[in-house]
Amino acid sequence: MAAVSILAVALFRSASAQDEPTTTSSMNATVMNYTSAAMNYTCNGIYDFLGSPVAPIDVCLDTYDAGSDMTTSTMYSCEGDTGYQMTYSGSGCSGTETSKLDVSFEFSEAACSVDTCDYVLYRNTTDSAGSYEDKAAFVNQCIVVLGAFPEETTCTNSTITTTECLGGTECSGFFCETKAVTAEVLSCGAYPDTDSDDTDDSDDTDTETSCAGAYFAGVAIEPLDVCLNAMNGSASSFMYTCDGDVGSLMVYDGLDCSGRGTSDALSLAFSGLSIVCSGDACDYGVERVYTKDANGDCTDMYTENAIFVDRCIAVPDATFMVSCSGSSGTYTNYTDSDCSTVSTTESTDDDDCSTITTCYVSDSSSASTPVAMVALAIAAIVAIA
């Protein structure tokens, strides 16, 4: 499988110098003459005639109209193998329903006896007066619509990310678009906290802690506002940044992101990265990799890349963690998605042509300490194919 490297945007740049979550991909819009047929669903829920999820079962969705100052609520439920849409006056789906409709009358289908899957419950503000509509979407499920349009939604406690693909059966690859979503997250079932208490544990490897940064397949990869330089015949630099809630990739003609930058929306779109502007400033490392000549010696040409450290990073076909301390660093590869079973561990002091110009760890004094380690992590993602 030819997956997009998270560094594709950086490589493109150095060579030449991101709503509402929807489970119906825009790439499916041309498919208008499909006739509903039996689907192989994996999650209990309601699905439209294309096979795209509408909502999970037994999740209450509130709707508030500021103009009339009225709140109603809706919930989908199953009776046997039949799905129903039930509407209530007031919030919380309490009391007796005001209407009950078999979902088949809406050209939808119910899956009532498969698995109960994680979901995100979110709220969209629909006008300036404060009206809103709650919706829910399955998370961490690559759902293939019409056998050729994979879709996946992921979430943290404050962010939602969607990935939509064209062709194949996996939610990664060159023909995929990943984007952050503007919505208020009411609950996220994607990453439950399994810690037994609130005591800080330096070995905690929870997958997400809502980092602000560039995300790949819903996973935080690179930090915001960190300038990355490149010297490949000419000097250039770039960084991911935000203006309010709008993220962009900014490129510069010189080093250190000085002067007037240019937004490179095309490279960002093709990279498969999305930018999440709200979140924590998480620890990271910046690596400089020098090009080698025919004899294997380091040249003066180099590129820089950044990656979050001390986090379990699980992207399609790879799970790893990068760590740094003092003047040493490690790249650890895992066989599972929660970084519990080690596959290989590599030292990062073995390549004279690689060094980390910054190792920022907020609870230590290792900021700006040279540590060679990010290249190994980057290479792992680049090698996904």
pLDDT in tens, 6-19: 333 233 333 333 33
Tell me what pLDDT residue 171 has. 80
Confidence label for 142 from pLDDT (cuts 50, 70 and 90): confident
Whether the predicted pLDDT of 285 surpasses 60: yes
User: Which residue, among 120, 125, 124, has the nearest Cα to 156 in the 3D structure?
Assistant: 120
HSE, side-chain direction, 13 A CA sphere, residue 287 = 34
- Chain-centroid distance of CA 9 in Å reads 16
Whether the predicted pLDDT of 160 surpasses 80: yes
Confidence label for 241 from pLDDT (cuts 50, 70 and 90): very high
Tell me what pLDDT residue 327 has. 58
User: Which residue, among 220, 236, 217, 216, has the nearest Cα to 228 in the 3D structure?
Assistant: 236
User: Which residue, among 52, 17, 16, has the nearest Cα to 34 in the 3D structure?
Assistant: 52
Q: What percent of the chain is helix, strand and coil (3-state, nearest 5)?
A: 10, 45, 45
Contacts of 306 (CB under 8 A, 6+ apart): 222, 223, 226, 228, 284, 285, 286, 287, 374
> What six digits make up the tokens of 345?
């561990």
Tell me what pLDDT residue 200 has. 42
Which stretch of 5-14, 112-121, 276-285 has the lowest confidence by average pLDDT?
5-14
Contacts of 183 (CB under 8 A, 6+ apart): 19, 20, 21, 122, 123, 124, 160
Q: Which residues pair with 284 in a beta bridge?
A: 308, 360
Element of type H or E holding 381: helix 374-382
Tell me what pLDDT residue 244 has. 84
> What six digits make up the tokens of 131?
């009206």
Tell me what pLDDT residue 325 has. 72
Query: Quick one: average pLDDT of 273-284?
Result: 87
Tell me what pLDDT residue 279 has. 85
Task: Give the CA distances from residue 14 to residues 49, 233, 261, in Å, rounded to whole numbers and listed in that order.
Answer: 45, 10, 15
Whether the predicted pLDDT of 236 surpasses 90: yes
User: Which residue, among 106, 109, 105, has the nearest Cα to 41 in the 3D structure?
Assistant: 109
Element of type H or E holding 186: strand 184-188
Contact 45, 56 (CB under 8 A): yes
Contact 315, 307 (CB under 8 A): no
Tell me what pLDDT residue 326 has. 63
310: DSSP letter: S
Q: Which amino acid is at 364?
A: S
30: DSSP letter: T
Confidence label for 205 from pLDDT (cuts 50, 70 and 90): very low
User: Which residue, among 242, 237, 375, 205, has the nearest Cα to 298 in the 3D structure?
Assistant: 375
Whether the predicted pLDDT of 189 surpasses 80: no
The sheet that has 342-347: what strands, in order across it?
A: 313-315, 318-325, 328-334, 342-347
Contact 316, 232 (CB under 8 A): no
Q: What is the pTM of this model?
A: 0.46
Whether the predicted pLDDT of 269 surpasses 50: yes
Query: Quick one: average pLDDT of 278-293?
Result: 88
Tell me what pLDDT residue 291 has. 92
Tell me what pLDDT residue 1 has. 24
Higher pLDDT, 59 or 10: 59
Query: Quick one: average pLDDT of 123-135?
Result: 91
User: Which residue, among 279, 275, 221, has the nearest Cα to 246 in the 3D structure?
Assistant: 275
Higher pLDDT, 274 or 131: 131
Q: What is the mean pLDDT of the chain?
A: 76
Confidence label for 107 from pLDDT (cuts 50, 70 and 90): confident
Tell me what pLDDT residue 178 has. 85
User: Which residue, among 165, 187, 193, 211, has the nearest Cα to 316 in the 3D structure?
Assistant: 165
Tell me what pLDDT residue 243 has. 86
Tell me what pLDDT residue 39 has. 56
Most confident of the following: 28-42, 251-265, 273-287, 304-318:
251-265
Whether the predicted pLDDT of 193 surpasses 80: no
Element of type H or E holding 266: helix 265-271
Most confident of the following: 183-192, 291-300, 315-324:
291-300
